[in-house]
Structure 1
Amino acid sequence: MTSEVTYAEVRFKNGPSSAEPKAPPGSETPPLSRFQKCKPWFPWVVSGFFMLLSAILLVVIIVILKGSPKKGSIKSQFQKSTAWNCLLKRPEGKEPQLSCCMGGLEQFGSSCYHFSKDTRTWNKSREECMEKGFDLVIINSDAEQGFLTNHTQNSQVENFCIGLTDQKGTNQWHWVDETPLDPMLAFWRSKEPSNDDENCVVMHIGKGKGNEMKNNWNDVRCSVDEHHYVCETNTVFFSI
């Protein structure tokens, strides 16, 4: 007896195999966020950084406020200080100002002056002034020459170096800022300048009256003869 074989059509749907059952809806595990992936100490580091930055900013603000005196208080602070000599000036059309020089300096116009107690050659005198942040004095007016003459007249010093020179030997006198000497503001003594090898200038302190006393410049050797000297710098202005 011949047996019959029956063929059946079997269709398979795409989907999970029986070994991997599909999870019910809503039970999927969400992907890890960036912060979940970070180290557990990371948020503390960030917080600490911002706290440190805030503290630094606070300190800076306090320092600025303390270092900026209120308007009207500058005058009293500088008047009490021995480190500054100040004059109250009232420029026309402007607010009053304090014109100040460091302690030990003399003030005239908008300049501060240091009159040395030691002696140097003209070249060394300029080096000493520049080390202090000054330079040898430049005389720009008849009034300034009168101030310097009057200030030095009572000293027991013979000569003070000033910032006038002809070190090129061309008989063309220049101030230390390279400004040429104005012939109308030249205060030479009689018969000066006298020697070709004397190319630097001192203010000679002598006796006399009027122009005889004010005309007191004398040429000297720049690197040989030693004299006292006058340094000059600008005053410092403060609004009040």
Structure 2
Amino acid sequence: MAVEIMNRRGSVSPGTAAPAEERSCSWMKPWVFLVSALAIKTAFVTIYLVALLSRKGDQPTALQQAFTEWRCSSAEPQGKERGWMCCPRGWKLFQKSCYYISGNVMPWAESVQNCTGMGSHLVVINSEAEQLFISEKIQQSSKGLHYFIGLSAEKVGQWQWVDQTPFNVSAAFWRKGEPSNKDDQKCVAIQKASEPPNNWNDLTCEHHYRVCEAAAVTV
């Protein structure tokens, strides 16, 4: 079950039937009541989730400060109150993270800044399941061929993640023949045309699409 929420509250006005048409339109009354009840229930759920996302007891994350529209999915409760995992609208939820597949291109340095400005970072891939999920979402995109991930090298062959996660050679998903380890190819992207999970490609740090990642907000 997923619920979309926004930062503004809508009012709900239950429908009423006109007295003059009461006899001819009496069959509509159950439907009017049902629609009104569902609208009221949705309003209560929306207000409840908005209240949880903005509780005074929680320090807002950078992601919460950057976005005002959210989509929440039911999750395993982590306490007496928390049973929803929320991502900004347009982001994709997987396990405990939110992912953004960009619709425009930027150089590597600007891609890093863009993700940071949204309260996230270029994606750091820790498992094959995560790699397959991201690859699937990229393949569903109608955009270009390459999507930056958060892996780069200051020196040829010395790969490091943007969040300082140690690079694990056994959990890398290079295309056949990659990395080429050339002096001008120090950034890594997922290549949409390659068969997952092995679709990483080292390439120049010029204009490409990107994948951002942030921890989901749990409420």
Work out whether the TM-score is over 0.5: yes
Partners in 1 of 2:44 and 2:124 — Cα distance?
A: 29
1:102 Cα offset (Å): 1.4
The SS at the match of 2:174 is coil
1:228 matches 2:209: yes
Work out whether 1:101 is the aligned partner of 2:87: yes
1:77 and 2:46 aligned: yes
- How far apart are 1:180 and its partner, in Å? 2.2
Q: Determine the C-alpha separation between the residues in 1 that align with 2:215 and 2:84.
A: 13
Deviation by residue 1:203-229 (Cα, 9 ceiling, x = unmatched): 10015xxxx42111001122xx21100
* CA distance 1:141–1:126, change in 2 (3 Å): same
Specify the alignment match of 2:9 in structure 1.
none
Cα deviation, residue 154, structure 1 = 2.4
Alignment of 1:108-119 (within 5 A): 108-119=94-105
| SS of alignment partner, residue 117 of structure 1 | coil
| C-alpha distance in structure 2 between counterparts of 1:77 and 1:126, whole Å | 33
Q: What is the distance in 1 between the residues matched to 2:44 and 2:169?
A: 41
- Counterparts in 2 of 1:189 and 1:76: CA distance versus 1, 3 Å: same
Letter in 1 for 2:211: V
Query: Hey, which bits of structure 1, 4+ residues long, moved more than 3 A?
Result: 78-82, 93-96
Q: Report the Cα offset of residue 75 of structure 1.
A: 8.0
Larger Rg: 1
Uncovered stretches (5+) of structure 2, i.e. residues with no partner: 1-41, 51-67
The 8 Å contact of residues 202 and 218 in structure 1, kept in 2 or not, is answered as yes
C-alpha deviation, 1:184, in angstroms = 1.7
Contact 1:85–1:102 (CA under 8 A) maintained in structure 2: yes
- How far off its partner does 1:162 sit? 0.4
C-alpha separation in 2, matches of 1:79 and 1:161 = 37
Distance 2:71 2:197 in 1: 27
- 1:124 aligns with 110
Query: Per the alignment, do residues 100 and 200 of structure 1 end up closer, same or farther by CA in structure 2, a change over 3 Å counting?
Result: same
How far residue 185 of structure 1 moved from its aligned partner, in angstroms, is 1.0
Percent of aligned pairs sharing the same letter: 38
Deviation at 1:94, TM superposition (A): 4.6
2:190 aligned with 1:203, yes or no? yes
CA RMSD for the aligned pairs? 2.4
The equivalent of 2:167 in structure 1 is 181
Q: CA deviation at 1:118?
A: 0.7
Aligned-partner residue type, residue 184 of structure 1: S
Contact 2:156 2:186 in 1 (8 A): no
Counterpart Cα distance in 2 of 1:74 and 1:90? 23
Partner of 1:137: 123
Cα distance in 1 for partners of 2:170, 2:133 equals: 18
Partner of 1:147: 133
The CA deviation at 1:111 is 0.7
TM-score of the superposed pair, with normalisation by structure 2: 0.66
Gaps of 5+ in 1: 1-72
- Whole-Å separation in 2 of the counterparts to 1:149 and 1:196: 27
Residue pairs, 1:3-82, within 5 angstroms: 76-77=45-46
Query: Partners of 1:178 and 1:214 in 2: how far apart?
Result: 23
Distance 1:119 1:94, change over 3 A: same
Letter in 2 for 1:191: G
